[in-house]
Amino acid sequence: MSELRGYLAEGPRVGIRPFTYEDGAEFIDRVRESKALHHPWLAPPASPDAYASYAGRLIEDPAKAGFLLCEKDSGGDVAGFVNINNIVQGGFLCGALGYGAFAHAAGRGLMSEGLGLVVRYAFGPPLRLHRLEINVQPGNVASIALARRCGFRLEGFSPDFLYIDGAWRDHERWAITSEMPKR
């Protein structure tokens, strides 16, 4: 169980906070419990060294922001994660989202609440982004449903977009901007 820490934003059931190196053991346990849920869509770090490298990039790289979604009723157990990658400032003010629920939290609406919190946080200070994008494999029905529930719109299709699970995979492009009504 995670120690309760100050949340950057809170909903009724979920709080979001940054990744820390100290979250490694719990994160790795959750990844191992969720292997069947995540495959073939994503492969989060499943060893201490892999977690330290992953968390380090999210903590130290200004072009990334990582958020743990913590279940408030459980004392802060990590239910999932949302990362904003490839943050571009200037005239673009955009970032690409990656996310995953852990098996114990899947299907309970926690990701919808947590992703909504991250979107609102990203559009406000200190990030002040204008646009967020999600790239989803067409067969990942749960992820597409999450993007749709959180107000993202389908903008296109990218063949052979990302290298995942040993092959270049097609992706649908979903996006939301700060002006869109449902955030």
User: How many distinct helices (H) and strands (E) make up the chain?
Assistant: 5, 8
Distance of alpha carbon 8 from the chain centroid: 15
pLDDT given for residue 182 in this prediction: 56
pLDDT given for residue 162 in this prediction: 93
pLDDT given for residue 159 in this prediction: 97
Query: CATH code at 80?
Result: 3.40.630.30
46 in any annotated domain: yes
145 in any annotated domain: no
61 in any annotated domain: yes
pLDDT tens per residue across all 183 residues of the chain? 444 468 999 999 999 999 999 999 999 999 999 999 999 999 999 999 999 999 999 999 999 999 999 999 988 999 999 999 999 999 999 999 999 999 999 999 999 999 999 999 999 999 999 999 999 999 999 999 999 999 999 999 999 999 998 999 999 999 999 999 654
pLDDT given for residue 152 in this prediction: 97
As for how many domains the chain has, the answer is 1
pLDDT given for residue 2 in this prediction: 43
The answer to whether 146 and 108 have CB atoms below 8 angstroms apart is: no
Angle at CA 14, nearest 5°, toward 179 and 110? 80
CA distances from 14 to 50, 67, 70, 102, 138 (A): 26, 12, 5, 14, 28
Please provide the size of the chain in residues. Answer: 183
150 in any annotated domain: no
140 in any annotated domain: no
Q: Which residues touch 42 (CB under 8 Å, ≥6 apart)?
A: 98, 100, 164
139 in any annotated domain: no
pLDDT given for residue 3 in this prediction: 45
pLDDT given for residue 5 in this prediction: 60
pLDDT given for residue 52 in this prediction: 98
Among candidate residues 182, 4, 11, the one with its CA nearest the CA of residue 113: 11
pLDDT given for residue 74 in this prediction: 87
Q: Could you tell me the pTM of the whole model?
A: 0.94
Strand 131-136 relative to strand 94-101, pairing: parallel
* Strand intervals (E) in the chain: 9-10, 14-18, 65-71, 77-88, 94-101, 131-136, 153-164, 167-177
The answer to whether 131 and 89 have CB atoms below 8 angstroms apart is: no
3-state SS record for 117-134: HHHHHHHCCCCCCCEEEE
> Residue 21 is part of which domain span?
9-130
165 in any annotated domain: no
138 in any annotated domain: no
